[in-house]
Structure 1
Amino acid sequence: MDLDIDTVRVARTREDCVLLPGEAFLGGGTYLYSEPVPAGVTGLVDLTGMGWEPWSVDGAGLRVAGTCTLEQLVSGPGALGAHTGGPYRALGLVAPCVSALTLSAKVARMATVGGNLALGLPAGSMVGLFAALDAVAVIWTRGVSTSGGGSRVVAVADLVTGAGAVDLAPGEVLREVRVPSAMLAQRTVFRRASLSSTGRTAAMVTGRAGGQGPTITVTASVSAPLSLRARDHAAVDRWIDRLDSTGAWFEDVHGSRDWRAAMTRQLAHEALDELAGT
């Protein structure tokens, strides 16, 4: 691997996050270092120098920094959700969603939550995790100092708008993800399908029970996350049928549209059954 760039700056303050011409942000770098440098990028700004606390929990809920690594996510919030009951039971989704990325331990130590979200890849399972938990992303807007504003909030479910497309303007930083406290104790579910046991995720369903009925979120088989509040199988089938009619399914070498549609239908039914306790 050879990164053809001229400079690397380590950001330590908000002002350091203002990009100069030709610069792009660097988080863990695991994807950037595996692909050709994007056209026009001549310098990188390393966000890990900001020293953000990886994650925290308080009365408002869970906060996860954009630079929190996947390893830190599993060992922190994931550990809180390792028990089936209790105030953090929803965080049982963390470990399977990270595992869905089929990462090596070395990559998990470097890859970041913010990087996975910002890539907007259909198989990027952090969007399925946080969309299922009704999380929001806090985004630092471009070129504004730390005093007075300079940020906006967008639902994680709306952050990814298509395959590789995200609601991030040039120069914006995904500062953190926030999960409301009301979500943390809810029952959750995870289902995943791929063409092989170690293959890229081709269909993923995450969901939560919720007071107004189960909500399921579909990712990987579609270009952007889709959610449905469904009380029965008929509602799921009607939803899947509409997606069939609109040609919503994503397709690449990891799965055809028809197969992904069939697997999504099956996984959604399984998820609904589990959330209903059947």
Structure 2
Amino acid sequence: MLRRFFASPLTVIGFVFVLVLLVLALFSPQIATHDPLEVNITNKLQPPSDEHIFGTDEVGRDIFSRIVYGSRISLKIGLLVVLISFPIGTILGAIAGYFGGVVDQVIMRMTDIFLSFPGIILAMSIAAALGPSIENVLLALAVVWWPWYTRIVRSSVLSIKSSEFIEASRAIGANPFRILFKDILPNSIAPASIQASLDLGFVILAAAGLSFIGLGAQPPSPEWGAMLSSSREILREAWWAATFPGLAILFTVLGFNLLGDGLRDVLDPKQR
């Protein structure tokens, strides 16, 4: 599996990007060269130099240090949203696919209601109603994201529940919930796991977008989307203020996408 995973150069690149993000998030105090919240008006809008690798922003804060600490916020949002929405969607999809009938209709119609709205618009509405903060963005994205896992797992369960080994479990009198959670779910969770690895990057991108329009992290938080938003007015005179946070988002999303493709090659039997 490891040989197949690292066989693709693009997968290796994605793994390296994600590994760098993890290192930045775990060792932010050791890597950052300045206090990310320290204001120094005399050093405002300084271009990249030996003292400030990525330059400074409109109030003299070190952009490199803010990006390093911002990796913690972005990774926290991505992981928590997936860790909340993945189990909810997986369990609901497994129950709907296995029991069918009225249970399936209720769960899937509820899923269709959420999917009938564009995800980012629904997240914006929830975040706006709750108020601008990182916690509310996290909750809004978790509410938006679970239906995708429900559909994926339900489809997998429908294709597996008529298999011979499931019929054998029924024949020996196994409890339906034991069959579902011990026999069916472990064999149908791989597609949803692949989607979860891809979604980490998209969640980080969506959270940055919500912060960019003022619904997420608020100043002076070193969140990448908020940094992009505050640098809009100085883009012409200080290109570095928006370029480096934008590149951080770009490489993070690209890394998770490439890593997800590698996991698909390993976990998806159709790719073998």
Q: When the two structures are superposed, what TM-score results if normalisation uses the length of structure 1? A: 0.22
More strand by share: 1
Higher relative contact order (Cα pairs below 8 Å, separated by 6+ residues): 2
